[in-house]
Amino acid sequence: MSAPLRVAVLVGSTREGRFAPVVTQWLTGHLGQRDDMRADVVDLTETPLPTVLPAFGQEPEPAASQALGLVTPRLAAADAFVFVTPEYNHSFPAALKNAIDWHNQQWHGKPIAFVSYGGLSGGLRAVEQLRVVMAELNAMTIRNTVSFHNAYAAFGPDGRVDDPAVEGAAKAMLDQLAWWGHALRDAKSARPYAA
Ligand SMILES: Cc1cc2nc3c(=O)[nH]c(=O)nc-3n(C[C@H](O)[C@H](O)[C@H](O)COP(=O)(O)O)c2cc1C
């Protein structure tokens, strides 16, 4: 039995009054039931990142380095990711793109699953755009997703989702993430990822 996968859950929304915690807690509830995964929730409201990138070849400013110090090591340590993302104007939030752009090799050779939410589209357009972005960063995006359409109505007051189809979708997605997470972790231990 190999060590559990370290799964960083990256929370995409930093909006005041956001719905993101409801979706994130639903996800961490599922991750907590698995022996093969350990979750680390990276919430960009708790560890905000600056939005000004350094010039090419320059180190970040001290304040930026300090902020990155609370995020970067956790992304680096992750074997796999789940992005929790809403849809904003047919895409994903700027805070999430900012966190992605601050990093590079931390994404390499790692699988990423998506839990999305929004209005009628359930955040699927955000996810499709994220697939393109993360391919540029040598990450492997998982086919199956969980998407919450009309998200506010999908969760009960206790944060639970009373829908067997959603439970099945979550299991399928996390099983795929586990397969890719183990496969890529094993591969990198045999041969460092070369991008
Ligand atoms: C700036 C903005 C743009 C949005 N654009 C869309 C959209 O294009 N499609 C959609 O289905 N929902 C859209 N929504 C609705 C959000 O997906 C929904 O309110 C979701 O709960 C936002 O996530 P959050 O509350 O965690 O920030 C938008 C919301 C905001 C704030």
Pocket test for ligand 1, best of 18, 25, 84, 89 (most atoms within 8 A of CB): 89
Cα–Cα distance between 127 and 16 in angstroms, integer? 22
154: domain range? 5-51+67-190
| DSSP code per residue over 47-92 | S---S-PPPTTPPPPHHHHHHHHTTHHHHHH-SEEEEEEE-BTTB-
Answer yes or no: is the C-beta of 181 below 6 A from any ligand 1 atom: no
Pocket test for ligand 1, best of 87, 152, 155 (most atoms within 8 A of CB): 87
Look at residue 171 and tell me if it is in a domain: yes
SS (H, E, C) 120-189: CCCCHHHHHHHHHHHHHCCCEECCCCEEECCHHHHCCCCCCCCCHHHHHHHHHHHHHHHHHHHHHHHHHH
Look at residue 135 and tell me if it is in a domain: yes
CATH number at residue 115: 3.40.50.360
Distance 159 CA to ligand 1 centre (A): 19
Answer yes or no: is the C-beta of 175 below 6 A from any ligand 1 atom: no
Look at residue 113 and tell me if it is in a domain: yes
* Contact (CB, 8 A) for 6 and 104: no
If one counts the domains in the chain, the total is 1
Residue 15: predicted pLDDT: 98
Distance 88 CA to ligand 1 centre (A): 5
| The two three-digit tokens of residue 53, written as one number | 């990138």
Residue 1: predicted pLDDT: 67
* Contact (CB, 8 A) for 6 and 42: no
Q: Measured between alpha carbons, how far apart are the two ends of the chain, in Å? A: 29
Threshold 0.95, pTM exceeds: yes
Look at residue 148 and tell me if it is in a domain: yes
Residue 28: predicted pLDDT: 98
Look at residue 61 and tell me if it is in a domain: no
Residue 140: predicted pLDDT: 98
Residue 194: predicted pLDDT: 86
Answer yes or no: is the C-beta of 90 below 6 A from any ligand 1 atom: yes
pLDDT in tens, the chain (195 residues): 689 999 999 999 999 999 999 999 999 999 999 999 999 999 999 999 999 999 999 999 999 999 999 999 999 999 999 999 999 999 999 999 999 999 999 999 999 999 999 999 999 999 999 999 999 999 999 999 999 999 999 999 999 999 999 999 999 999 999 999 999 999 999 999 987
Look at residue 186 and tell me if it is in a domain: yes
- DSSP, collapsed to helix, strand or coil, labels residue 107 as helix
Pocket test for ligand 1, best of 88, 129, 148, 150 (most atoms within 8 A of CB): 88
